[in-house]
Structure 1
Amino acid sequence: MSVHDSGTVRGKLILMAVSTTIVALLSAALVMLLFDLRAFQRYWIDDLVAQGDIMARVNVPALAFNDDKTARQNLAVLQVRPQILAAAIYNGAGKRFASYAAARDEQFPRQPQHAGWQIDGGEIVVARDIVENGERVGSVWLRARYGLMDRLLGYAAMLGAVMLGALLIAGLVASRLQAAITRPLEAMTEVARQVMQQRDFTLRVPGKERGEIGVLVEAFNDMLAEIGRRSHALQESNATLEREMQVRQRAEQALIAGDRRKDEFLATLAHELRNPLAPIRTGLDILRLRSGDAQATQRATDIMERQLRQMVRLVDDLLDVSRINTGKFAIKTGRVELKAVVNDALEVVRPTVDLHGHELVIDLPDRPVFLHGDATRLAQILSNLLNNAAKYTNRGGRVSLKATVEERTLVLVVADTGIGIAADMLDSVFAMFVQVDSTLERSNAGLGVGLSLARKLVELHGGAIEAHSAGLGHGSQFVARLPIVVEPELPAKPTPAAFISAETYRILLADDNVDFVNSIGALLTAMGHSVVITHTGPDALAAAKRFCPDYAFLDIGLPQMSGYDLARGIRDLPSGAMTTMIAVTGWGQEKDRQLAFEAGFDHHMVKPVRFEQIEEILGNRSLIKKLRT
């Protein structure tokens, strides 16, 4: 190829093919060379390390009995490996115990080297520790020939020959194919020049080519035809962009509204969480200043417990809504009697109703009504509706719950004489974080999640809920419809009194919250149980080895060792299979429960923990033991 040809499409095509081939071959050769050298190095290192480990194991008895003769015989086996130039064994004191050298003038290190390997010029040096029963009793030192340059030169010669042959073949093929490629390209270049000068998009490249070049020519001609249509399409695209801008502006406005609602929710959340803290702090001051006054102590305890329940309720509602929205919420269905559900709901709601001085009216059917659902969640629906009615009703108002049966549907109506709901709010009152009255004067209006959670729970039970109101100042009604079970309930078998156990247990408590774990431990000790209290993971594991507990209440966030690792450690103990382990943690998501069960826990409890929950777990064990015997 001449210098003149190198400026043409033909010359550039050949030059490109040859240059690309050179670059590809050089890159491939470099990668293969580096890979081969690395594999070669890894092979030698692994081989010598394995040889050193073998020497370390077979010479343990020689070091133990101070038998240097046997050690030298063991090293003499290395004669079959001509690449190994020298080897030595050092005792625990650092003195050379035995050695082997392929040459007589071999030099050995005076002191044993640290375990590992290093490449020094054309040689590899490997040092391995000799360990017996977990204790280092000596070391092995090996030095071998590393033929890297020989390997490199041989491989480079082979790759050079391959590259030279490939370049010759690439140049020959490129020179023969360039004519079939350059002619259509030159024709396309000429047509493109004319189109640019004349702005005539009716011009086409003549001829019918085959293969990819033919496809390219046809594509070029189609492109010229398409350009005319694109002008019209561009105008339509501009109109579409204008419409999308309008949609985007509406979306931005929705985001601004959502952001404002989020800010309002966060402010309300901070307010609702701070509200219970003030009486709790006051109760603590009463307990500190008037610890001898039994009435004051009881009053302070009641206040603190009531406010704590309020905080727990807020957190539980938020977690339930989050689980439902992420699809991780599931209900445990079963046969449930309506009156039992109402009683559970009233137990939660009555303190709020009494606090506001409301009249509470309950109207239930005379005959038993059975539902197919989750008793806890059904009670939560009613308690949320009744709490909402109590909060939005001025002091001394009236709150009512009426239940009627329509064919196979239970109709629950919660009504109040409160502030009512504006007509424009009836459709959005069940949305997250929406509150009918968010003014500062009504400071106990909640977070705006109660009604949203109630609707989601009703829908999970196959029902529906709706809100009614005659307007502001005229009260409101919430009507929930749930499917019922018509068939009569089978009588339950009473639990024999013999199953009630008064046994005492060995109980291990592990928590870094000293006040919490000490108070629980004191209550359990007062009941007659044997209790061991620890505050770190390692201390708890050591106590479990000595104590062999029947129960272990373990915090997850323990210092020095997590509760998950602690649970696995207890399960590995000889007595671990007989220990009932309970995870006590502030993390209550479904994934946290799954992690606890995978670690070996039998139960998962979310803080704050009531002592009644601990008593229930202890009672369940008693029943299980009776049934097994």
Structure 2
Amino acid sequence: MLWRDPGTVRSKLILMAVATTLVALLTASAAMLFYDLRTFQRYWVDDLTTQADIIASVTAPALTFNDAKTAQQSLAVLRVRPQILAGAIYAANGARFATYVHRPDGPPAFPARPEAAGYRIEGGELVVFHDVVDNGEKVGTVYLRSRYGLVDRLVSYGAILGLVMLVSLVAAALVASRLQKAITRPIEAVTNVARQVMQRRDFTLRVPGNNTGEIGVLVDAFNDMLAEIGRRSHALQEANLTLEHEMQVRQRAESALLQADKRKDEFLATLAHELRNPLAPIRTGLDILRIRSGDAEATRRATDIMERQLRQMVRLVDDLLDVSRINTGKFAIKTGRVELKAVVNDALEVVRPYIELHGHELLLDLPDRPVFLNGDATRLAQILSNLLNNAAKYTNRGGRVKLSAHVDDKVLTLSVADNGIGLEQDMLDQVFEMFVQVDSSLERTNAGLGVGLSLAKRLVELHGGTIEAHSPGVGQGSEFVVKLPIVVEPELPAKTMPAEFISSETYRILLADDNVDFVNSIGALLSAMGHSVVITHNGPNALTAAARFCPDYAFLDIGLPGMSGYDLARGIRKLSCGATTILIAVTGWGQEKDRQLAFEAGFDHHMVKPVRFEQIEEILSNRALIKKVRT
């Protein structure tokens, strides 16, 4: 059936034969129709002109002798020609002399004046004007109007031609259908085999039959081609499988190497930054001890700062050593009967100063009755301190950190929740991997080494427990849940205990650094020297203070919360008094590209932590820089 599958060779051959026949028939029909219409028009014009000539000959005497009755009778003869709708005889002066209408009740259709001899076709009607001549003199004009059945002729003739064309096309299709089988059957067999080969990928299939001539050569060549393709396809598949396996292994190894290299670079840069951060206030504390050795209060404050920062450095180094011991299999825990509250107290003793330093609210929700664990008290406290330290680090100043615990079916569940920056869903598992940074922007509050959570996870697993991270999303806080087996199951009433805040001090030269110990100690030294000092801990507050106080010098950390030091420097330069402010970058990032970025942002100096107070004094002693005006 041609209409069922118009894409087959058989259908296309039949369509070609039918289309060729159709084009020939249409050409012949168009020529015949054009010729017939021209002949039909000539016949009607000649017929009506002859009729007008007869009437002119008959009515010429009547016009000469002004015999209207005779002229009217001559026109009345037109009744035998129903195709003629109207007729009229006009005198030589153009007046209507006699008229005839096929239907008296119809509207008159006579021109007011006769026209020149000739004919025209208008509105499906033929109009003829013919001169009445008597003895070589024009005595009047004959007017005739008749039906012009061109449309009827066209319809009837076209119907005949259409019927002839239809019969011819059917005959052509039948003949072509019979003749094309010798060509299409072998080609259809080749097509079917090719389709099955593509669908089933089976190159053992062959086209059956013994064909002769060019079709036979085509079939044999196709079968030979399938055999060759089958052999090559099998070899190619074997090679592809081997290559794909090697590529997968190579890609996984390359991806792992790139990731490890990237994390290594980030870790080394962050390690340098994190070690310099405590060194800066320690260095400043030494300067305080040197300059204000007789001031007991300043000495005590400097000693406290140095002790806190030294503990932070020791903690960083201990975490790195613990991870190294675990990775090399040299780490062991000393298990024993441990009470939960003792573990919590040990952890809080470590992290409470850090939490208070950031102005966080600490909430505790613990069971009233004792809960005993079988584990290493030091390492359990280290787990909690790492989780609490992480929560405080990634929560904006003045946030909330909550430690809660409850027992269910001899399993202790510890939860450390915060309302900090939160986690993306794809980071919930990655956050426990080594050297993974949740926040890698310059505006982050604290970088961290990316080992605290990984170490906590491994310590939990060494105690036979599990740890999971949960977060509704970025900006919605996070929660870390630890589950550990217990020895004694207690009763579970609980109570909440809030912790204290400490507020930051403000002075006057603009200091902007999120390391509170460092910036406060520098501020104390500068204040002791008689300078006006303003201290801020994030970018937006620093920009507001700069607009209000118009400082001569601004010592700015690069990694500030809320706005990087680069953006802060650009903002200060846009202030009305910013052109005369000497900007000094104080940061743990000390590579050459970091210096170039600082100068491009508008800084005048770049200082790498830990900063010696003599460096600050050297910059302040150069008074000429204060008068520098930027263009």
TM-score for both structures, normalised by structure 1:
0.40
Does 1 or 2 have the higher relative contact order (CA < 8 Å, sep 6+)? 2
TM-score for both structures, normalised by structure 2:
0.40
